Chains A and B, each alone.
Chain A
Amino acid sequence: MKSGHNKINARSILQNNNVVMLIVVVAIIILFTLLNSNYFSFNNMMNILYAASIIGLLSIGMTYLMIAGHIDLSCGAIAGMSGAICAVILRDTPIEHWPVAFVITLCVALAVGALNAVLVNVFELQPFIATLATASVCTGTSYLLSGGRAVVVENLALIAVGKGKLFGMPYTVVIMIILFIIFGFILSRTVFGRSVYMVGGNETAAKLAGLKPKKLTSICYLMSAGIASLAGVLVTARMHSAMPGAVSGSEFDAITAAVLGGVAFIGGRGNLAGCFIGLLIIQCFANGLTVLGINSFWQVVAKGILLIAALIFDYVRRKNIQPSVITDAEITAAVANNQ
């Protein structure tokens, strides 16, 4: 029996979440370009990606964890804390090289990721609650470190990273795109990535088939914390300072992007390409409202409405996949007819 090439038809394309969402992105871009021709310019497109980059980074770890059936509500707080730690190290210690400060910061973030993993996999707390608690610890820590005020960064090398561009693309955008590609590849092609899907789809079945769910999800928590740390330092570099609370709540935007992109909240389904498209939808829409001069509070409302719309769409689409009610005999007949 061959691998079975399905005929490409309109219906099967519409069954593909990513294709539908990509159409939505294009539709949004066309809509706003018609309303304001400046919308579809290189500069504005870069603005969109630039605004998307921090949430984008956070959504990578979030996507892995959500596919594995977990969640990390602490990634935003870890990013915030990392920014503060890095800025404080550069301001208050003799360390002058930002990469050194970043490595120290990364270690602290990984420790928090390890704590999440221990809480969830050893003490078997609900991921939602466990990471909510560590989020609070991290947010508090960043306020303590900064004294509640912005910690100004005077390290020129780090500021250069925040300002720097490659072919007109800000470094953060470049980094985000590279990480999306690397982690997207890992998720779709490696044993590790496949295992994440299986564990999220059915943890018991995965375990009985020889996978190690606890080990796998622990790695995901570490990964999420590590990338969040990088995102936090990049925010600090971009803003020349660490503002406590600058990225607070961004974990929810990361979840929104992932869910819009078809990542199942209960695990087992979704991919990073979808997540990236979800991210684009949010940012294209938000940016469009800004370009049209609409009150920015509407952006928050719009984000919620987009999410609801995406979930309803997902519900309708999933109703098409139903447990088999056809008998073996009918399938045999159908297969025979096809041959």
Chain B
Amino acid sequence: MESVERYVEFQKIDKRFVGVHALRDISFRANGGEVCALLGENGAGKSTLLKIMSGAQTPDSGKILLNGEEVVFHSTQDAIAAGVSIIYQERQLLKDLSVTENIFMDFLPRGRFGIVDFAAAHAEAQRIIDEFKIPIKATANVGTLSVAHQQMVEIMKAYRRNSRVIAFDEPTASLSDVEIDVLFDVISRLRDEGKVILYVSHRLKELFQITDRIVILKDGGFVKSLVTKEATEPELIRLMVGRDLGDIFDNLARNTEQGDIVLEVKDLTNEKVKGVSFQLHKGEVLGFSGLVGAGRSEIMRAIFGVDAIESGEVLIDGAPVHIKSPRDAIDAGIGLCPEDRKEEGLVLERTIRENTTIPILNTIAEKGLINLSKERAIAANSIKNYNIKTHSMEKIVMELSGGNQQKVILGRWMSADLKVLILDEPTKGIDVGAKSEIYQMVCDLAKKGLGIIFISSELPEVLNVADKIVVICDGQITGILDREEATEEKVLALAMHEHRAAS
């Protein structure tokens, strides 16, 4: 731990987006020669903080100090120039170019007439590679390297820039155990050189292995900074949970009567989904919890016929159904409200009316001709029942607020003859008022006898709305908890423990 003069300090960083207070008055310090973990639930503010560090976003207020000096980043270039590098989960590499070109992406050594001196560049790149003891050639195309080695290239790029601060965003997500060891060696090296290392990961085990300090964020606020050696796993989980959402759930009228099994999934498997089995009853709200990227959406995509299934079975009302496309799924009685409303849910430039009737066009048409009065009646009904705030059904969906957009998608499924409705993060990015409306709508649909799958990254939401909670980690079910026994701690522990058998 050579120098205490090297550090990055966040002072009262505050950032708001529409409807969300992403960072609240965050202050902490990460020292050089230390690996500092950022830990928190989904939506705790880690990504926003990294984005601010990288210059991709600017804070509404607050300061970042680098070795005592205030730095202001207006762009990612500013951040790089100041010596801050972020290693993202999705690597920012040019796969068709060589390792050298990627390492020197922003400044290839020039020779006479400004022509790139490749010999010198390759030699210098190879020197860095050897220094890191990585068995790759500087001239190799990055696309031909393993995922781990690609990540090393990314790190070497940061190293070459002489970065003072290097932040890692879930660096081990796609690495094998051996590759993780190599990565940790490199990170230790960089730490020993006195660099400031920020490390974002959900894998608690790793944090104990590699980090020296753990900073916990919750709901965009700073909770605590602990020395890793003195921390315990249950303590960390306890500090991460316990979000206060007020009395939003107090008046929720939940459905209490359940019927027969409406959907049964047996041993569903494909590239991203591993042996998933569960049952859903009529009138039941089945919560799906897990960390971002755990594979919840992928399970639903497989059930809904978007992604191909390798093996396994889906049964509706006890009878096997063969779903090859979303159309098949809808015809079998399954509806989906996708996670990304704007990209996957709505045709933004078209009207509420048109967006409402997409799945049922054939049922409101005679001989291929749309019955417009029927369509208007359905759209008007959906606007009324789902309390969509608009002057007219001819309003373009893009002009609605997030909550109302979500209600348009919910309304879309009202007229389709559904048995199962899958809601993927239905309350993401919408304000509290609309959220509570949507919770009630979910409960009302359950009362009507629909089986509901409710995916959410917000634990309090799942715990309060769902009858049962299925916890997913790494494409498989790590536990199914009843509402009565489920606590935030239990769900989070299941979500963060990999390969632990369901108990």
**Residue ranges of A at the interface with B (Cβ–Cβ < 8 Å):** 1-4, 6, 189-192, 194-195, 197-198, 201-202, 204-212, 264, 268-269, 321-329, 331-332, 334-335, 338
Contact = CB atoms under 8 A, between A and B. Distances in A.
7 contacts: A4-B392, A202-B347, A205-B338, A205-B358, A208-B344, A268-B347, A269-B349
Interface stretch (B89-97, B212-220, B361-369, B478-486): B361-369
Interface string B412-424: 1000000000000
A321 B346 contact: no
B445 interface: no
A191 B362 contact: yes
Given A4-B390, A329-B433, 6 more contacts: A1-B380, A191-B365, A197-B347, A264-B349, A322-B399, A324-B401
Nearest to B336: A208
A209 B400 contact: no
B428 to A, nearest CB: 16
Nearest to A199: B347
A332 B390 CA distance: 8
B361 A194 contact: yes
Nearest to B400: A324
A212 B359 CA distance: 11
Contacts of B412: 209
B425 to A, nearest CB: 14
A107 B233 CA distance: 71
A328 B396 contact: no
Contact of B369 (A2, A190, A211, A324): A190
B338 A208 contact: yes
**Which bucket holds chain B's interface residue count?**
35 or more
Interface stretch (B54-62, B247-255, B323-331, B488-496): B323-331
Interface in B19-77: 19
Given A6-B392, A210-B359, A212-B325, A328 B349 contact: no
Contact of B370 (A1, A189, A209): A189
A28 to B, nearest CB: 29
A1 B354 contact: no
A197 B353 CA distance: 13
A205 B368 contact: no
B182 interface: no
Nearest to B372: A189
B401 A327 contact: yes
Contacts of A6: 392, 394
Contacts of B344: 202, 204-205, 208
Contact of A205 (B345, B399, B431): B345
Contacts of A211: 327, 358
Interface string B347-390: 11110001000110110010011101000100010011000011
B18 A325 contact: yes
Closest 5 CB pairs of A and B: A4-B392, A201-B347, A209-B358, A331-B389, A210-B330
B349 A268 contact: yes
Contact of A206 (B343, B347, B393): B347
B306 interface: yes
A334 to B, nearest CB: 8
A332 B380 CA distance: 17
Contacts of A269: 349
A326 B401 contact: yes
B327 A210 contact: yes
Given A3-B393, A208-B336, A328 B434 contact: yes
A209 B359 contact: yes
A329 B354 CA distance: 25
Interface in B140-193: none
A287 B433 CA distance: 60
A321 B369 contact: no
A210 B415 CA distance: 14
A252 to B, nearest CB: 25
B404 interface: yes
Contacts of A329: 433
A338 B336 CA distance: 34
Contact of B350 (A210, A268, A322, A326): A268
Interface string B267-307: 00000000000000000000000000000000000001010
Nearest to A6: B392
A338 B393 CA distance: 16
A317 to B, nearest CB: 13
Given A205-B344, A338-B391, A197 B398 contact: no
B340 to A, nearest CB: 9
B227 to A, nearest CB: 43
A204 B343 contact: yes
Contacts of A192: 368
B194 interface: no
Contacts of B365: 190-191
B368 A210 contact: no
A328 B361 contact: no
B429 to A, nearest CB: 13
Nearest to A4: B392
Contacts of A327: 19, 401, 431
A321 B396 contact: yes
Among B19, B347, B361, B362, residue most surrounded by chain A Cβ atoms (within 10 Å): B347
Given A209-B326, A321-B399, A325-B18, A1 B346 contact: no
A322 B348 CA distance: 11
A190 B368 contact: yes
B403 interface: yes
Contacts of A189: 369-370, 372
B406 to A, nearest CB: 11
Contacts of B393: 1, 3-4
Among B346, B349, B396, B434, residue most surrounded by chain A Cβ atoms (within 10 Å): B349
B350 A201 contact: yes
A322 B399 CA distance: 6
Contacts of A332: 389
A264 B349 CA distance: 11
Contacts of A322: 399
A191 B384 contact: no
A206 B358 contact: yes
A200 B62 CA distance: 44
Given A1-B383, A208-B306, A209-B412, A324 B349 contact: no
A323 B404 CA distance: 13
Contacts of A326: 401
A214 to B, nearest CB: 10
Given A198-B354, A209-B359, A3 B394 contact: yes
B296 to A, nearest CB: 16
Contact of A1 (B331, B384, B396, B403): B384
Among A191, A209, A211, A325, residue most surrounded by chain B Cβ atoms (within 10 Å): A209
A338 B338 CA distance: 33
A93 B338 CA distance: 58
Nearest to A322: B399
B348 A202 contact: yes
